[in-house]
Amino acid sequence: MRTIGIEEELLLVSPDGCSTRQVGDTICAAHEDDSWLTRELKRDQLEIRTDPTASISEALEQLHTRRRIVDVYAQEHDARIVSLGTTPLRTKPKTVPVERYEKITAEYGVIGRNQLSCGAHVHVDVESDAEAVGVIDRIRAWLPPLLALSANSPFWNGSVTGFASFRSQLFSMLPTTGYQELFGTPEAYHTHVENLVNTGVVHGKAMIYFPVRLSNNFPTVEVRVMDGSLDARTTVLLAALVRALVETAAREWRAGTPADPVSAEVLRVASWRASKFGLSGDLLHPREHRPRSAEVVVAALVDHVRLALAEAGDDDFVDTELERLWTTRGGAGLQREVHHRAGELVDVVREAIPLALS
């Protein structure tokens, strides 16, 4: 069974939920022996990682444990963690004083200064670059539904955005974040990446922010479209779906099943719709590329990977967690419900604090 590894970016806030806390790099420096904990672009956030595992239950246990540990670390610095795709609170993000981060902030102007967003990335192991590119070409049309399922950022910097996932809109302002055309071969993929790096606009392969890419550090494909989820169970639900997508695509590649030639532009539109509506409106169907209800599109995703889910023993977990998500329409729906009920964005943050540890 393929192993998975999860990376989550978490936001740091004051214990009363009224402001962000810019202590992420300080926390990481104080606990540098924890290899699963690392700083991120802004001091208002940090990142945790799970170790590779083939077990969804083990991944969930790791994520629960490490969220709780890092929340204890945060409390040592008068902060708490929340898992929100963007901050509902007004803030002026501060860049971690590292040369690469400072260069990004300086060169990209207001885009770099405001680039405080929290995503979740899922790594799935692959046998070779050839298999990886075969997978990348065959899962691209299925990634917008994953974004819709993860959508958890309807508020940003004190504003009601009108999007279920404003994180994806904010992140898309950076170069190299969009969907690509089919690659076909590893050579084509690597040449494309080198050509982008050679433009001088992006600073190395670490800034190749494709929705799905070959990892620079591990023998994996890395799916990067998702918002950070309010709770660990939702993150692991998404990881289970990602693994099943990779396994399904790898089998199609080995069987010689052609990849869907849908254009990158249509996929960008599909991603925009997923960002706009999340689970509360029509999405583009991954096979038909026409608007269908979120329920129909998510059902198509699950049907597409059902065999891989069943073989991994993940199907019951996925079905249960999806049923739970529909009750709130995901993280974005829950945040909006809290805001509608309580009336203040600070209440959204306060209610997210215990959810991060649930």
**pLDDT at residue 161 in the model:** 98
**pLDDT at residue 293 in the model:** 98
Cβ-based neighbour number of residue 49 at 10 Å: 19
**Mean local confidence (pLDDT), 166-181:** 96
**pLDDT at residue 216 in the model:** 87
**42 pLDDT higher than 90:** yes
Question: Amino acid letter at 350?
Answer: R
Contact 27, 66 (CB under 8 A): no
Cβ-based neighbour number of residue 216 at 10 Å: 11
Residue ranges and CATH numbers for the domains of the chain are: 4-356 (3.30.590.20)
pLDDT tens profile 67-102: 999 999 999 999 999 999 999 999 999 999 999 899
Burial (CB < 10 A; 0-12, 13-18, 19+), residue 175, is: middle
User: Which sign, positive or negative, has the C-alpha torsion 328, 268, 246, 355?
Assistant: negative
Burial (CB < 10 A; 0-12, 13-18, 19+), residue 240, is: buried
What is the average pLDDT value for the chain, to the nearest integer?
97
What residue spans of the chain are helical by DSSP H? Answer: 24-30, 56-75, 99-107, 109-113, 129-139, 143-150, 166-171, 186-198, 232-255, 264-277, 294-312, 315-328, 330-342, 345-356
Q: How far is CA 226 from CA 141, 148, 253, in A?
A: 14, 8, 24
pLDDT tens profile 298-350: 999 999 999 999 999 999 999 999 999 999 999 999 999 999 999 999 999 99
- Residues of the chain with pLDDT > 90, as a percent, come to 98
Strand 212-214 to 159-160 pairing = unpaired
pLDDT tens profile 98-123: 998 999 899 999 999 999 999 999 99
**pLDDT at residue 217 in the model:** 87
In angstroms, rounded to a whole number, what is the distance separating the alpha carbons of residues 172 and 189?
20
